Each structure stands twice: as structure tokens, then as C-alpha cells.
Amino acid sequence: MAIIERYVGNPILTKDDVPYPVETVHNAGVTKHSERYVMLFRAHLRNGRSIIGKAESYDGFSFEVSPQPFLTPSDEAVFAEYEEYGVEDPRISQIDDQYLITYSAYSRHGVRIGLARTADFQQVERIALISAADMRNVVLFPTRFDGRYARLDRPHSHISPWSIWISWSPDLIHWGGSELIIKPEAYHWDQMKIGPGAPPLETPAGWLNIYHGVFETMSGGVYRLGVSLHDLADPGHVLGVADEWILSPQDPWEITGYVPNVVFCCGAVAEDDGTIKIYWGGADTVMCVGTTNQDLLIDLCLHHSRAPL
Ligand code: BMA
């Protein structure tokens, strides 16, 4: 039995659905707002740089794209300097009545993380750049822990395989207290590098962290998805990491495209009945969705696990 049931209507969004010129639609953050699903997707322009567009849906499967992009590289200090090469891979976390969006900001100085906020997905305001270079794949927990914000992040290193860390902040702007919590495992599907995917989902058993892992082959990296479970009160404490991947490139639009053999997740939505909708970019070209169940993912983390470090 598949852990994630692919939706029969995949891909759910392609460049043909976008009313302005783009070459790809992928790596989207998704959340629920006012009875609707809001998707912020990454799209390549024809100069090879990325912007972020918006689409909305009543059922989480059928999306309509807004006429204008949602976030394009800023022309205001200090953001302009660090977004010159594009904005990528948005993740959305709701904290109280605001939606916080983390995204990768690319420039000649490297890649770092931008933080923006919106209350209604109409107006969006940048808050700060919240990392130095080089950092990608930052997901905020949708709550505070003893007054502190927490995030999973993925610094780049020349010494150690790229791994998942946790960091803390009193104000969303200044981050520290970083600790390594999950490393790739040697000769395993995620041995080359891992990174956070969807913002963590709260369940009675802990936080579910859907992440990506890469295995290098003779024809490039294969991007797959995995899952880990983190203590509810102390999310740096990993309760289990599922040993096997939960999604691997399989459909034609996951195997071929802008970058072949990629499923890459930036968003998942937990429904009240325990169903989880997982969204992923296929081959950096299209958006796909599938469904799974929180109990199944929890069981994989607790009873079919490997060591986190
Ligand atoms: C990563 C990022 C992702 C992308 C993936 C596969 O390094 O650039 O945005 O989906 O590679 O190309």
C-alpha cells in the first residue's frame, strides 16, 4: 500500500494555468485561510530566475491562479541587494492571526532566508532577512514554546552532509541556540543531504516534519520525501525518523522536467479527521498533491525508525 495516495488529477497546477509568462510551477507552500486553501508557488521566469505566485482552491485539489504574482524580488533596501537573483520555495506558517512566509532569497552574495507576513494574502510585508548566507529550507513552527519561536533550518557546510537543525528566537528576527537534530544516514536514500519541507504539523503524538532527502546517482540526485516526529513541548527532541522514504519520483512529470527525478515539498495541510494533504513539486516543473493519514506517519516514525544522528 502506498503511504501517500497520489491524487488522480495530478499534476494539479502547471504553467499553462498561470495568466502571466512562466516556465514552471513548483515547490509551493500551502495553508488554509477563510475556508480556502491558499497556495504560494515558485515559478521560473524565462531568464531562469524565480518569483512567487498565488493560487486558491475550495477543495485543496482544484486551484485557480491569481492574475498577478504574489512576491517578486524587492526593489527596497535591504532586501533588493539579497533578492536580485530571485525568490524561491515559500513556506507558510500561521501564528495567531498572521501568516508568516519564509522564502529563499538568492543574490550574488549567496542564498539566505527572507521572512514576510500577510493577514489576508492580499497585502504582503517583508519583515527581515533571518539568516546569513548560506541557508535554505527554513520552516517555522506555528506556535511559541515558552514564549520563543522555533524553526527547523538547513545550513550549508563543507564538512558535514547538509542536515536539519533547530533554532530559536524571541522575536522572529534574531535567531540562535541552534542545534543539529537530524543527519543524513550513510548509504541510505537520504545520504547526500536532507532539508525541512513542510512547516511542522501538530498531532497528539508530536510534530510531524515532512522533509526531503537526496541520493546521488550516476545521473544526478534523486529527491524523495521522508518524515520525522518531534516532541510536542520540546521539538528539538526527535521521537523517531522513519527509515524508509514516504514518496519517491514515479509519475512521468516527477521523473522528467526542468530537473528530473524530484519530488520536493514545501507545504502540507492537516485536516480535522486526521487526513493530511501533502503538496509537492514534480521535477521542478509542476505541482502535485496526495493524501495520507497522520496515524500512518506517526507509526512509521515510532515503529519503523532509524537513528536521527
Ligand atoms: C534544491 C532546491 C529546490 C529544488 C531542488 C531540485 O537544491 O533548488 O528548490 O526543487 O534542488 O532541483
Atom in ligand 1 nearest the alpha carbon of residue 221: 6
Cβ of residue 262 lying under 6 Å from some atom of ligand 1: yes
Q: State which ligand 1 atom lies nearest to the alpha carbon of 104.
A: 9
Q: How far apart are CA 49 and CA 294, in angstroms?
A: 36
Q: What angle do CA 234, 235, 238 make, to 5 degrees?
A: 105
Question: If we measure between CA atoms, which residue out of 156, 151, 27, 37 comes closest to residue 100?
Answer: 151
Q: Give the chain's radius of gyration (CA, Å).
A: 18
- Choosing from 87, 134, 223 the residue with most ligand 1 atoms within 8 A of its CB, the one to mutate for a pocket test is 223
pLDDT given for residue 1 in this prediction: 76
Ligand 1 in reach of 253 Cβ (< 6 A) = no
List the grid coordinates of 306. 532509524
Q: Rounded distance, CA 179 to CA 167, Å?
A: 7
Q: What is the pTM of this model?
A: 0.98
Measured CA distances, 213 to 5, 9, 12, 184, 185 (Å): 20, 26, 23, 8, 10
**pLDDT for the residue 104:** 98
Cell triple for 140:
517555522
136 CA to middle of ligand 1, Å? 10
Distances (CA, A) of 134 to 81, 158, 302: 15, 11, 32
Ligand 1 neighbour 88 (Cβ under 6 A): yes
In terms of Cα–Cα distance, which of 66, 120, 57, 18 is closest to 267? Answer: 57
CB 261 within 8 A of CB 255: yes
Distance 223 CA to ligand 1 centre (A): 9
Structural domains in the chain? 5-306 (2.115.10.20)
Residue 221 has a pLDDT of 98
What tens-digit pLDDT sequence spans the chain (309 residues)?
799 999 999 999 999 999 999 999 999 999 999 999 999 999 999 999 999 999 999 999 999 999 999 999 999 999 999 999 999 999 999 999 999 999 999 999 999 999 999 999 999 999 999 999 999 999 999 999 999 999 999 999 999 999 999 999 999 999 999 999 999 999 999 999 999 999 999 999 999 999 999 999 999 999 999 999 999 999 999 999 999 999 999 999 999 999 999 999 999 999 999 999 999 999 999 999 999 999 999 999 999 999 999
Strands in 275-282's sheet, in edge-to-edge order, are 5-6, 286-293, 275-282, 263-270
Distance separating alpha carbons of residues 250 and 256, to the nearest angstrom: 10
Task: Tell how far the Cα of 264 is from the centroid of ligand 1, in angstroms.
Answer: 7
